A and B are shown apart, each in its own frame.
Chain A
Amino acid sequence: AQSVAQPEDQVNVAEGNPLTVKCTYSVSGNPYLFWYVQYPNRGLQFLLKYITGDNLVKGSYGFEAEFNKSQTSFHLKKPSALVSDSALYFCAVRDRGGATNKLIFGTGTLLAVQP
């Protein structure tokens, strides 16, 4: 069965410092992996996705994510955090070879960037 884990409920980082939001996954086959961001009282916005190829994926707003097959991880990163990056971040996985094509979401990580 597919699953996604975001081990940190909250990540605190000072503005200007690098940030990492962690995600690990479990699928029976090869994954498609996604990151979304949600601001208060808004829908989720797509940030980036991994399909195949280069393990480092670049996305919107300066975010990037690194796919690590051996560690089954897809951590979200940004070299220099902004206060405006404070939001709820969701990792999601779809098993391209699985019986179901559904997108499975993690439980979310709240990112708080202090000025």
Chain B
Amino acid sequence: SQTIHQWPATLVQPVGSPLSLECTVEGTSNPNLYWYRQAAGRGLQLLFYSVGIGQISSEVPQNLSASRPQDRQFILSSKKLLLSDSGFYLCAWSVSPENSSPLHFGNGTRLTVT
């Protein structure tokens, strides 16, 4: 069966420090991969998605970047964190092509920038 791992679960970082959040998927090949941010425990904002190694699409201009160095690895990064980067970050995967397939989410990383 397929599983998705996200770490760390919680992170407290000072403003201006770098960020690296990692997500890996097991049990499937060539998945579509996604990074979402959830602010104030509600709305989901799609940050990045990837349909293959090295292929990243950015949904919103921001202080963050994403990379996909391996088929089932998706990394969210920042060179210098801002206070506004605080939030709950969720990684997800889906079958490619998606069509009727749902997204499957990791357990998230709660990032607090101080």
Q: Using CB atoms and an 8 Å cutoff, list the residues of chain A in contact with chain B.
A: 32, 34, 36, 41-46, 49, 51, 88, 90, 94, 96, 101-103, 105, 107-108
Contact = CB atoms under 8 A, between A and B. Distances in A.
Contacts of A36: 102, 105
Interface centre among A36, A44, A90 (most CB of B within 10 A): A44
Interface stretch (B13-21, B40-48, B63-71, B72-80): B40-48
Contact of B42 (A34, A96, A102, A107): A107
A105 B42 CA distance: 11
Contact of A107 (B43, B99, B102, B110): B43
Contacts, number: 49
Interface centre among A88, A90, A94 (most CB of B within 10 A): A94
Contacts of B97: 101
A42 B107 contact: yes
B106 interface: yes
Given A42-B108, A44-B105, 20 more contacts: A32-B99, A34-B102, A36-B102, A36-B105, A41-B88, A41-B108, A42-B107, A43-B90, A43-B107, A44-B92, A45-B105, A46-B104, A49-B102, A51-B100, A88-B42, A94-B100, A101-B98, A103-B98, A107-B42, A108-B42
Contacts of A45: 105
